[in-house]
Amino acid sequence: MEVLAVSHALPVVHIINGLEIKTSIVHTPLKLPSEYIELDEDGIVENATAVHDGPVYIYLAENYDYWCKELGVDRSEWDWCHLGENITFRCTERKLTEFDFRLGDVWRVGNNVRLQTYWRTMRSYFRMNRYFLGRKLANMDDKVNIGKNAWKGWRNLRVLRIVDEGNGIKSFYLYPANNEPLAWYQPGQFLTVRLPTGDVRSWSISDWPGHKQPEYYRLSIKEAGKASSWMCNDCSTDTILSIRSPAGRFVLDWSQPVSPRQVYFSAGIGITPILAMIKAQNSHSNMSETPGVWIHIAKDGSNLQLNQDLLQIENNPVKRFLFLTRPRNIDVIGRDYDFQGRPNLEVLTKLLGSPYMVNPLGAGEVARPPTFSSVYICGPSEFEEGTKAHLQSLGIPPPFIHSENFSRTGNVLGDFKKASVRFTKSKKVTSWEKDKPMSLLELAESIGLTPDFGCRAGACGSCAAKLTGGSVSGYQT
């Protein structure tokens, strides 16, 4: 046999789905005797991570003609090493196929090189197959559980435990009132609650049970408005609350073939969905080894919400950075917190702007670009908008930035200027006009109807109604 080409690859930045990825996955064939791969004590110069101690993958040149013809590909479009092989061989004495190779066979290449046929699956392929099959099985399990035991409309849950977390926050543990199983939920989702006063409000689920049937839901609520004040001051154990099934699109995404670094931002009570996400990352097989960064902002050391949960996350793969905007004299930087003030672009560049290392196959660490990060933000709107602006300045694509937003943008979709709306049960008919834009909830209320509502922005699902005819476009939320 003779060598036609040896694969060579150096890390190059490629634009993949709008994201800059530095990878050496694209191979270049070295075909001349004068061409060579430069080595030093660390391995291949400028690509040390490409060195491996496993078998090399060879491919026979004769197969290129076969597959180009079979797939209708112009042969000139495929150079040697196009199919990912390390070495491209041509048989000089007789035509060979893969069926002519046997385990243990030793092949002579030139005068000095001997190659022995190795176990065909190879260690690296076994690790890769195990990695991707494991992720696929976990994703299949997740799809089965999403929405499992969900219910329509309102359901009674009983408050069986209340914990005073301090700083004006109480955690309420809600259990089934009728012993029927609770709906599974995704980390980051919320419950819409109807209080005995008639008020309806949505609160994030602040805990994560692991991948098992939830026994309860935990809501951690800070006393602020009318509904939260009732919960913190008037709600007691054995109180019955009307609850809608868990909902929300602000959820941890563990379905990706390769998980990017997870970055979490929380301020104040915005910590509640973030806690559930971080706990889920630590326990989910697809993400337990995924690096993460959590940036939390609080006023001072006495205003650390759910502090016991904070302490329990220290052994998590997520590294926490705490910012205090007005630390007390007893709050010591480096011990009690990491930064004073709010995260600005300079600090975020320091924390998030460098490549990070991963070792998904257990075969060696690989550097990934800092822009390959999935970001979750929960906090006041000003904090959310400022953080988004900084992240986009760092080059993180907008689709990778997620936030919980219970306000509408006011951007009306669709070209029509006027529409007739008929409410089936009441048989009332009214008109919607683009010049005086209202949501369907507001339109219903304007003619005396009283639909259920929670967030008033189309996020919580409380005001959802069946479309019996026509079509609907709405506000971007």
Q: What is the CA radius of gyration of the chain?
A: 29
Which of 286, 359, 319, 321 has the alpha carbon at shortest distance from 135?
A: 286
Tell which wins on pLDDT, 110 or 467.
467
Q: Is the pTM of this model over 0.85?
A: no
The CATH topology of domain 261-403 is Rossmann fold (3.40.50)
Q: What percentage of residues in the chain have a pLDDT greater than 90?
A: 39
- Closest listed residue to residue 251, CA positions, set 203, 184, 186: 186
pLDDT at 19 (0 to 100) = 66
Model confidence at 355: pLDDT above 70:
yes
Same fold, 155-243 and 261-403: no
From the candidate CATH numbers 3.50.50.60, 2.40.30.10, 3.40.800.10, 3.40.50.150, the one assigned to the domain spanning 155-243: 2.40.30.10
Of the candidates 337, 343, 346, which has an alpha carbon nearest to the alpha carbon of residue 307? 337
Predicted confidence (pLDDT) at residue 314 exceeds the cutoff of 60: no
At residue 477 the predicted structure's pLDDT band, cuts being 50, 70 and 90, is: very low
Rounded distance between C-alpha atoms, residue 7 and residue 31, angstroms:
9
pLDDT at 352 over 90: yes
Q: What is the mean pLDDT of residues 13-18?
A: 73
What does the domain layout of the chain look like in residue ranges?
A: 2-120, 155-243, 261-403, 409-477
- Residue whose C-alpha is closest to residue 225's, from 461, 454, 476, 468: 454
- Region 262-275 average pLDDT: 93
The C-alpha atoms of residue 203 and residue 3 are separated, in whole angstroms, by 65
Average pLDDT over residues 153-177: 93
Question: 48-99: per-residue pLDDT in tens?
Answer: 655 555 567 888 888 898 899 999 999 999 999 888 888 898 887 777 777 7
Residue among 257, 269, 37, 1 nearest 114 (CA) = 1
As a whole number, mean pLDDT of residues 340-369 equals 88
- DSSP per-residue string spanning 174-240: EEESSSPPPPP--TT-EEEEE-TTS-EEEEEB-----SS--S-EEEEEES-SHHHHHHHHT--TT-E
* Cα–Cα distance for residue pair 440/38, rounded to 1 Å: 67
